Amino acid sequence: KNMIIIGYPCIGKSSFCENFTEFVDLESSCFSKTNPLWYKDYCTVARDLESQGYNVFASSHKEVREELAPYQKSIKIVEILPTLEMRDIWVTRVSNRYINTLSAKDKAARDFIIKNYTSGIEDMMADSIEKKVFIKPENVNDLYSTVKEVYSF
């Protein structure tokens, strides 16, 4: 069954999708945040791709999670995120990613995670998405091991 995977920043969505064509990384940066309802269009695209047979990696923005939550009865929706205890590992991961790419997107992700890691994880843990899969420290660089907990390859 296809699904929408709400992925915490820097879990490896883009790299994963390069190797598995049945998965799509729906990049939220392509949606203008100057439009206050950008997340509605974004979630419509995510649901449409899922209905066409794709597994869609979606952004973990709060607006996206809240917009998708009511569809859990008809669409399999899963969140993938690290644990609270993985903060130092995650900051190192995202910092190294920015050092390697020097992209504005990766700088923004690094700055967000450094400032909001604990509150961001706690917010996802408390939201209304029912299925959550936590990345284990030993799988930090192996998204496949985490995804196979909810998807049969």
pLDDT in tens, 127-137: 999 999 999 99
Contact between residue 8 and residue 81 where contact means Cβ atoms under 8 Å apart: yes
Mean pLDDT of 108-125: 96
Q: Stretch 125-153: mean pLDDT, rounded?
A: 94
Stretch among 16-20, 73-77, 137-141 having the lowest mean pLDDT: 137-141
The pLDDT value given to residue 151: 95
Nearest residue to 117 (alpha-carbon basis) of 13, 10, 24: 10
> In this model, does residue 29 exceed pLDDT 90?
no
Is residue 49 a contact partner of residue 56, using CB atoms and an 8 Å limit? Answer: yes
> What number of CA atoms fall less than 13 Å from residue 8's CA on the CB side?
33
Query: Quick one: how many helices (H) and strands (E) in the chain?
Result: 6, 5
